[in-house]
Amino acid sequence: MSEAEAKPEKYVRPLPPESRGNAPGRNRLKGRKILVVGGGQRVLDAATDPVGNGRAMSLLFAREGASVIVADMNLASAEETATKITNDGGKAQAIEADISKPEDIARMVADAHAKLSGLDGLVLNVGIGVGPLGLAGANADDWDKALAVNLRGPMLTCKEALPLLDDGSSIIFISSIAGLVAGSRLPSYDASKAALGGLMRHVAMEGARRGIRANIVAPGLVDTPLGRLATQGRPSRGRSPTPFGRQATGWEVAYAALFFMSDEAVYVNAQTLAVDCGMTGIS
């Protein structure tokens, strides 16, 4: 028997309904009022685009019984997400907001609170990578632009939202394993995503007396339109080995966020969950 014949083939598990976004809702968020910042998605190829993380979370939260405000700098994309929700029998409204603009943040949070008559959930699904790869090509303008979206925006959103959130609310920051290990080759992206952990822990500390939890979901490689665009700019990304032999779906990231948003995670606070099939643990 040859070595190739003796070596077992790598097991590839068929995608379950949750990974494909086909699982039914179970009322895990019944009656909740949630603002998803970054709930639209980029269009790369409308005919073949998979679902993005923000859209998947918005759709899933609504399917689980929540009323959702979908905020995005691209209003048409936010409205498309909201329409998908309402067409599916859920409750959603869209808001246009650019998280890099402080005035937009204040208006977004106030509008979301007014439209839903309260808020008990907040998701910060924002992040950009700009500039050339490596420190040699880094410059102050790209650094400031990245941190304005990836770190300052979430900080200002939490500043506006914390006084308005109901006791017992949940805040979820969508980070990246680039905040845990070097990998994106964009210094501003890696640094801002790592700093998001410090911000998350501070928000968790301030919210703790009111039972407000703050946690991070840190996706690894995810097959989204934005991920495919990143691969076009850095082809090596698409060749990165993963323990499961595939990239995650946006739905798999959404289900991790659903856990943090639900009462199932009521005693989980100031934690980071890597959704990366073990890339940061066993690679």
Amino acid at residue number 107 = R
Q: 258: Cβ–Cβ under 8 A, 6 or more apart, which residues? A: 28, 29, 57, 60, 61, 64
CA 61 distance to own-chain centroid: 13
Closest CA to 20 of 47, 60, 58: 60
- pLDDT confidence of residue 245: 87
CA 251 distance to own-chain centroid: 11
- pLDDT confidence of residue 7: 56
Closest CA to 246 of 229, 225, 228, 221: 221
In angstroms, what CA-CA distances link 276 with 173, 217, 241, 279, 281? 16, 10, 11, 6, 9
104 CB neighbour count, 10 Å cutoff: 19
Q: What is the pTM of this model?
A: 0.93
In angstroms, what CA-CA distances link 17 with 24, 116, 191, 253? 9, 30, 35, 14
> Helices 140-147 and 187-207 meet at what angle, rounded to 10?
30
Domain ranges across the chain: 27-282
The continuous run of DSSP H or E covering 216 comes out as: strand 213-219
Residues annotated as catalytic (active site), given as ranges: 189
- pLDDT confidence of residue 107: 98
pLDDT along the chain (283 residues), means of 10: 57 89 97 98 88 97 98 98 98 98 98 98 95 91 96 98 98 95 88 97 98 97 82 68 88 98 98 94 79
- CATH number for the domain formed by residue range(s) 27-282: 3.40.50.720
Contact (CB, 8 A) for 283 and 243? yes
The continuous run of DSSP H or E covering 44 comes out as: none
- pLDDT confidence of residue 227: 76
- pLDDT confidence of residue 233: 64
- pLDDT confidence of residue 132: 87
CA 78 distance to own-chain centroid: 15
> Helices 53-63 and 250-261 meet at what angle, rounded to 10?
50
Classify residue 277 as left (phi > 0), alpha (psi -120 to 50) or beta.
left
From the number of C-beta atoms within 10 Å of its C-beta (0-12, 13-18, 19+), residue 201 rates as middle
* Distance between CA atoms of residues 239 and 230, nearest Å: 12
Strand order in 67-72's β-sheet? 91-96, 67-72, 33-37, 121-124, 170-174, 213-219, 272-275
* Distance between CA atoms of residues 167 and 150, nearest Å: 26
The contacts found for 239-245 with CB under 8 angstroms, 24 or more apart, are 241/283, 242/276, 242/277, 242/279, 243/277, 243/278, 243/279, 243/282, 243/283, 244/12, 244/13, 244/277, 244/278, 245/10, 245/12
CA-only gyration radius of the chain, Å? 19
- pLDDT confidence of residue 222: 93
- pLDDT confidence of residue 241: 78
- pLDDT confidence of residue 3: 53
